[in-house]
Amino acid sequence: MPGHEIVRQLVMAFDINALRVKPGTSVDLSTIDPDSTPQWSDKQSGDVSNKEAGKARVLELNERLESLQELLYAEGKHRILVVIQAMDAGGKDGTIKHVFEGVNPSGVKVAAFKAPTSNERAHDYLWRIHQHVPANGQLTIFNRSHYEDVLVVRVMDLVEKDRWKKRYDHIVNFEQMLVDEGTTIIKFFLHISKEEQGQRLQERLDRPEKNWKFDSGDLVHRERWGDYQKAFEAAIERTSTEDSPWYVIPANRKWYRNIAISEVIVQTLESLQMEFPPAPDDIAAMTIAN
């Protein structure tokens, strides 16, 4: 079957709800295969033609996203917040680069959250986050987020348990407030295997053009892999709500990860049924004189 026909067959079938974590369900990441390609093609995920068809689909979705983002900007009514979390080398940067390729930079922002500065640490943990949430017509991508405050902070004991354990409820309430005020929130966990992380970190050592990404601190976190998986499970379980859902994306295969995330974003934006603002009344009678 030619590649484009495979694409057509698979296009309509992608049910994003299959990746969505329903409120109140428990999450066991060990039961989700990071190599799998759900809603795309479970049987032939290793097939080369399948991968090629997948890449073609990403390009199609990318064009759709470009149009939707223009509409978002023109309408100026909705605010879109995309949160991306993953282990180191989980593909956060690559996702942003590929999924948002070609969107109009005027309406899209990326906020990356590093270890807090001393000024940030002198405030509550949501203070630095709130400053970066999207305004009307904007789409903002969080590369890491307030979730670090229940992930790295929990695993590495950066604050005492009595303090971080209350944060799940703060986060749910904070996000609900944003939603109630007009923000649409979509949260992604990029799920890779420890082996895949090992290969990606090794590549950062082996390839000169990737050396800059190598951070020996990543190895400290890698040693705590199991604890991080538990921390992610807790965070996802406790903060995936009807209005602010988490999607767990099997992310060992980058092309599949890009399809799945694009599908979720495109379908979510389509569900908003945005419209271009009405033309001014007198526009039909106008012509531009030369």
Q: Which residue has the tokens 């949260």?
A: 187
State yes or no: residue 214 binds ligand AMP (CB under 6 A): no
Over the window 158 to 197, marking each residue x when it contacts Mg ion by CB under 5 A and - when it does not, the resulting string is ----------------------------------------
Position among 114, 162, 283, 287 found at the interface with ligand AMP (CB under 6 A): 114
Question: 30, 249 in Cβ contact below 8 A?
Answer: no
Question: 243, 186 in Cβ contact below 8 A?
Answer: no
State yes or no: residue 203 binds Mg ion (CB under 5 A): no
Distance of closest approach, residue 225 Cβ to Mg ion, in angstroms: 15
Residue number closest to ligand AMP, CB atom: 148
Span near ligand AMP by CB under 6 A; candidates 29-37, 114-122, 185-193, 264-272: 114-122
- CA-to-CA distance for 214 and 42, rounded, in angstroms? 33
State yes or no: residue 263 binds ligand AMP (CB under 6 A): no
Over the window 230 to 249, marking each residue x when it contacts ligand AMP by CB under 6 A and - when it does not, the resulting string is --------------------
Task: Convert 170-206 to b/e letters by CB count within 10 Å (16 or more is b).
Answer: bbbebbeebbeeebbbbbbbbbbbeebbeebbeebee
Distance of CA 227 to the CA centre of its chain: 22
- CA-to-CA distance for 131 and 129, rounded, in angstroms? 5
Name the residue among 63, 86, 203 with its Cα closest to residue 142. 86
Which 144-163 positions form the footprint of ligand AMP (CB under 6 A)?
A: 144, 148-149, 152-153, 158
Hey, which residues does 110 pair with through a beta bridge? 141
DSSP H helix total and E strand total for the chain: 12, 5
Residue 144 site contact among ligand AMP, Mg ion, none (CB < 5 to 8 Å, cut-off depends on kind): ligand AMP
Residue 42 site contact among ligand AMP, Mg ion, none (CB < 5 to 8 Å, cut-off depends on kind): none
Distance of closest approach, residue 161 Cβ to ligand AMP, in angstroms: 15
Distance of closest approach, residue 89 Cβ to Mg ion, in angstroms: 7
Structure tokens at 113: 């959250």
Cβ count within 10 A of residue 86 = 22
Structure tokens at 177: 């407030």
Over the window 209 to 228, marking each residue x when it contacts Mg ion by CB under 5 A and - when it does not, the resulting string is ------x-------------
Q: How far apart are the first and last CA of the chain?
A: 53
Point out which residues bind ligand AMP (CB under 6 A).
113-116, 144, 148-149, 152-153, 158
Point out which residues bind Mg ion (CB under 5 A).
215
